[in-house]
């Protein structure tokens, strides 16, 4: 069974329908000229160093994860949508996920609770020491999208991440949920 986070989010998407594309204010400024751009060799070396650092952070193996919904906010949604969502507040979904060695530095979004059918991609995956910031955007049929932000500590054998999730293109106004995602390595992968 896939975790609650994305079941809840894409349940929202299914209920709220699609209103088309949303504006994305996350555009990045481009360098003014070629002299200001990073040296390709140095950029590649920096990327390899980052991957090596992240690879040391998570140990491959079987992980037990818990996701707890702490808040749900859909003030503009019709009451018929709000009632079932409010019933999810305080609930916890537990699941297990095998983290293969080749994903230890940057697990597939599925590791953090995504169902692979929802086409999630990382927008940001950065780490400073054991503090990690992750942003991913997930889609579903009909052009519906949601953004998930995760921040917190990520260590070799455990993590504790705060999560904020927002449906980006809901005709029913702002729909957000927040919670906590924790995980710990519990052994080797089975099979």
pLDDT for 184 equals 96
Supply 112's token pair. Answer: 């953090």
pLDDT for 49 equals 55
pTM of the shown model = 0.68
Which residues lie across from 23 on neighbouring strands? none
Sheet of 131-139, strand order: 92-99, 61-73, 176-187, 158-167, 145-154, 131-139, 121-128
pLDDT for 3 equals 42
State how far the Cα of 171 lies from the Cα of 13, in Å rounded to an integer.
10
Q: How does pLDDT run across 22-61, given as a tens digit for each residue?
A: 344 333 344 444 444 455 666 566 555 555 544 457 899 9
- Which segments of the chain have a pLDDT < 70? 1-56, 115-117, 140-142, 191
Pairing of strands 158-167, 145-154: antiparallel
pLDDT for 163 equals 94
pLDDT for 78 equals 83
């Amino acid at each position: 069974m896939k975790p609650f986070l994305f079941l809840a989010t894409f349940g929202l998407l299914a209920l709220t329908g699609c209103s088309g594309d949303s504006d994305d204010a996350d555009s990045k400024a481009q360098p003014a000229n070629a002299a200001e751009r990073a040296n390709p060799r140095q950029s590649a070396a920096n990327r390899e160093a980052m991957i090596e650092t992240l690879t040391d952070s998570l140990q491959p193996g079987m992980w037990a994860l818990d996701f707890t919904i702490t808040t749900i906010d859909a003030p503009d949604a019709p009451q018929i949508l709000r009632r079932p969502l409010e019933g999810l507040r305080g609930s916890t979904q537990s699941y297990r996920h095998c983290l293969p060695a080749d994903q230890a530095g940057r697990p597939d979004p599925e590791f953090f609770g995504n169902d692979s059918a929802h086409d999630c991609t990382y927008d940001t995956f950065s780490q400073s020491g054991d503090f990690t910031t992750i942003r991913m955007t997930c889609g579903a049929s009909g052009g519906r999208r949601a953004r998930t932000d995760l921040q917190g500590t990520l260590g070799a054998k455990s993590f504790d991440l705060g999560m904020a999730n927002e449906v980006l293109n809901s005709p029913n106004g702002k729909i957000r949920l927040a919670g906590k995602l924790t995980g710990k390595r519990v052994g080797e992968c089975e099979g």
